[in-house]
C-alpha cells in the first residue's frame, strides 16, 4: 500500500502524460469524425484539449487512483468520457466509422512516439543531468507505458472498444450486425475476461513487446 507522499510523487509524474493520453484519444475520435462529415463533437465543445471537458469521474479519477493504491503504483488504467459521434452524419458511415474508431489508438501510439523522442533528447543531455532530467525520464516512461496500454487495450476486437468498431466495419454486413448486437454487453465481457485472466494472457505480451520497442528506440532499454 502506498503512503500519501509516494502517491503524490506518482501523481506528479503521471498526471501530464495520463491526462493527455486520455484527452487526445477522445479528441482524435472527434477530429476524425469532423473531417469525415460529423461535427457533433465540435458542436458540443469536445474537440478541446482542456482535460476538464473530457474527465469521467469514475474512469479518470476513481479507477486510476484505486489501482495505484492497490498495486503500489506498479499498474493503473483509466479512461475519459467518450466523444459522441453521429454515424449517420459521416459521408460513408460504415467505412468512416472504421477511421474514426482507429483514430483513438493511433493518437496513443503517436504520443508514445513523442515521449520516446523526449526521452532520447533527455539522454542526449539536452536538459542536463540533474533533477529535471531524471524527472522527465520518469514522465516519459509513464507516457510510453500508459499510451501503449491504452492503445493496445482499445484495439481489443470487442465492441464498444475501438477495435470492435474497426472490426465491425471490415467484416461482411451479417457479421457486423452480430458484433453490433454484442455491443451492449461488451464491457461486461471485457471485465469478465480481465477478472478471469484470459484477457491479460493475450494483452500482456503484446503490451510488453510494443513498450519494449519504444523503450529501445528512446535509449531507455
Q: What is the pLDDT confidence band of residue 5, given thresholds at 50, 70 and 90? A: confident
| Annotation says 183 is catalytic | no
Domain limits for position 135: 4-218
Give the tens place of pLDDT for each residue, 143-176. 999 999 999 999 999 998 999 999 999 999 999 9
Overall domain count for the chain: 1
CB-CB contact of 147 with 111 (8 Å): yes
Give the tens place of pLDDT for each residue, 139-152. 999 999 999 999 99
Cα(101)–Cα(33) distance, integer angstroms: 9
Of the residues 26, 42, 183, 211, only one is catalytic, namely 26
Cα(38)–Cα(4) distance, integer angstroms: 44
Give the tens place of pLDDT for each residue, 179-203. 989 988 988 888 888 778 788 888 8
Select from 115, 105, 113 the least CA-distant residue to 32.
105
pLDDT over threshold 60, residue 1: no
* Cell of residue 129, nine digits: 543531468
The beta-strand segments (E) located in 36-164 are none
Amino acid at each position: 500500500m502506498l503512503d500519501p507522499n509516494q502517491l503524490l510523487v506518482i501523481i506528479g509524474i503521471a498526471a501530464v502524460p495520463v491526462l493527455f493520453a486520455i484527452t487526445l484519444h477522445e479528441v482524435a475520435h472527434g477530429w476524425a469524425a469532423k473531417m469525415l462529415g460529423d461535427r457533433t463533437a465540435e458542436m458540443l465543445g469536445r474537440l478541446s484539449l482542456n482535460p476538464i471537458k473530457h474527465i469521467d469521474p469514475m474512469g479518470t479519477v476513481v479507477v486510476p487512483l484505486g489501482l495505484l493504491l492497490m498495486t503500489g503504483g506498479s499498474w493503473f488504467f483509466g479512461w475519459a468520457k467518450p466523444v459522441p459521434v453521429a454515424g449517420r452524419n459521416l459521408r460513408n458511415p460504415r467505412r468512416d466509422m472504421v477511421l474514426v474508431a482507429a483514430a483513438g489508438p493511433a493518437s496513443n501510439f503517436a504520443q508514445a512516439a513523442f515521449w520516446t523522442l523526449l526521452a532520447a533528447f533527455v539522454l542526449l543531455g539536452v536538459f542536463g543531468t540533474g533533477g529535471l532530467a531524471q524527472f522527465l525520464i520518469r514522465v516519459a516512461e509513464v507516457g510510453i507505458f500508459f499510451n501503449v496500454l491504452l492503445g493496445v487495450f482499445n484495439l481489443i476486437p470487442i465492441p464498444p472498444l475501438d477495435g470492435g468498431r474497426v472490426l465491425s466495419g471490415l467484416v461482411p454486413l451479417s457479421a457486423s450486425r452480430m458484433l453490433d448486437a454484442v455491443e451492449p454487453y461488451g464491457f461486461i465481457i471485457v471485465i469478465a475476461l480481465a477478472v478471469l485472466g484470459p484477457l491479460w494472457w493475450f494483452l500482456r505480451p503484446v503490451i510488453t513487446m510494443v513498450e519494449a520497442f519504444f523503450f529501445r528506440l528512446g535509449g531507455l532499454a
